[in-house]
Amino acid sequence: MSVLKGFVKDTAVYGLATILPRLMNLFLISLHTDSLETSGYADNTAFYVGAAFLNVLLAYGMETAFFRFFSKAENQNKVYSTVLIALTTTSIVAFGVLYALRRPITDALELPVEYFGYLLGVAILDALVVAPFAYLRAKGKALRFAGIKLTNLAIYVLLNIFFLWAIPEFNLQLSWYTSDDLLTYIFAANLAASAVTFLLIAPDFFRIKLVFDKALFAQLWRYGWPVMVAGLAFVVNENLDKLLIGNMLDKDIMGAYSGCYKLAVFMTIFIQAFRLGAEPFFFSHAKNKNAPTTYATILKYFVVVGASGLLFIVCFIDFFKELLISDSSYYKAIEIVPYILLANLFLGIYHNLSVWYKLTDKTQYGMYFSILGAVLTIGLNWYFIPILGFMASAYTTLVAYGTMMLISYFYGQNNYQIPYNVSRISMYLLVATAGALISFYFFRSNYGVNTAILLAFAGLIFVLEYKELLAILGRNKN
């Protein structure tokens, strides 16, 4: 149980580094949707879709490969040095290549070419800090990791406030400022935050002797390239729906869909915090004889927390939508929220289940599963958007992530058995989903009934889990 307490502690620290920036980011959802028309928010979405693709390409699976090899290496500095040199070199080369291809890239994203410099700058700077950030996590330097991450978000948020609110609110007369293109200032704020992050972590480039081991890099590449392909497929799963809605319907609906999609940010925070703590933990404890049991317990409580969050957000969805999105023109897509929340919970479970192929060095399976999800995303969206409108994308996201989750579970049990409590996990998912849909479709804004639904679910968890929770927390003396 002490191992689990350590995992919870690490995840809590990374969660702090994730939650505080995300809470600031919640404010930005309101600021951006207030400042931008739905069509402008669509361009903002396209920018970050492009950044997501570039982030995966430029990292090419080296972060996950780093954790795998770092945890078992005798010379850990050599692993870090090799990854650092590789990512720095490829990032510099990629800058030249991608800039030369800026026209076809922006055409594919339906993004004005004048935004590409910001997009490329952010992507390259973010790629350069992948290895140093991974090193901080692997060495347990969570506070420095959190400090730099918080600084990044603080700069981004403060610049957004200055450009989008302070200048027009106080009628500041600045010769270079124009209210006709607010997106430029949002992207410039991101570039400035990424540049400061790079400067803060730059000293880590020189803390060790830089040595590039070709043989080691070959092993890292063999392990990492399927992770890259899986990452690209994941970006398709996560973002293609928005681009297809913009292309097949219109940018106004795309912007509304993207804005309401952001209401799933609370689930995203939870999953991201979990992943930051879980990945190095899974690798470092793989040799422990009780590791499978530990992994099973972690998944069960991941589902407990995630299902509770799903139910809480949906039960109070009208409060959250008005808190984060004051422009009612975005509300036309509010129905997607329960399905996107559940889809993201399935994705979080999938990430948890992925321990089996990462520990057995069979990362190609992660690639296969993600490609399957991408095929479902492309095919179902393409066929059903003209029939069902934007709701087709919400249903498709749920189907894609649910399918990936189930297939990973069944394959995993044949390759690396983990004693998951499937019946208990399934029950929590079914009860929470049923409660959320009943609340959303029958008791919207009836906070009395919705509170009763939440308390009933909390009571169920307490009755079934309190003894084990006491043991994990070290308070059960029996």
% of the chain exceeding 70 in pLDDT: 90
pLDDT confidence of residue 20: 66
What pLDDT digit, counting tens, does each position of 82-135 carry?
A: 999 999 999 999 999 999 988 888 887 677 788 889 999 999 999 999 999 999
pLDDT confidence of residue 355: 83
pLDDT (mean) for 327-335: 89
Q: What confidence tier does 474 reach under pLDDT thresholds 50, 70, 90?
A: low
pLDDT confidence of residue 457: 96
pLDDT confidence of residue 71: 75
Q: What confidence tier does 291 reach under pLDDT thresholds 50, 70, 90?
A: confident
What pLDDT digit, counting tens, does each position of 11-31 carry?
A: 565 656 666 666 666 678 778
Per DSSP, the residues of 140-173 read: T-HHHHHHHHHHHHHHHHHHHHIIIIIHHHTT--
- Which of the residue ranges 135-139, 238-242, 446-450 has the most confident prediction, judged by mean pLDDT? 446-450
What pLDDT digit, counting tens, does each position of 402-445 carry?
A: 999 999 999 999 988 899 999 999 999 999 999 999 999 999 88
pLDDT confidence of residue 8: 57
How many angstroms separate the CA atoms of 268 and 3, rounded? 25
Q: What confidence tier does 478 reach under pLDDT thresholds 50, 70, 90?
A: very low
Q: What confidence tier does 476 reach under pLDDT thresholds 50, 70, 90?
A: very low
Lowest mean pLDDT of 233-247, 333-347, 364-378, name the range: 233-247
pLDDT confidence of residue 466: 85
Burial 232-264, CB ≥16 within 10 A → b, else e: bbbbbbbbbbbbbbbebbebbbbbbbbbbbbbb
What are the C-alpha distances in Å from 170 to residues 30, 144, 227, 340? 19, 36, 48, 38
Per DSSP, the residues of 70-113 read: HTT-SSHHHHHHHHHHHHHHHHHHHHHHHHHTHHHHHHHHT--G
What are the C-alpha distances in Å from 325 to residues 29, 143, 252, 268, 476? 7, 32, 15, 18, 45
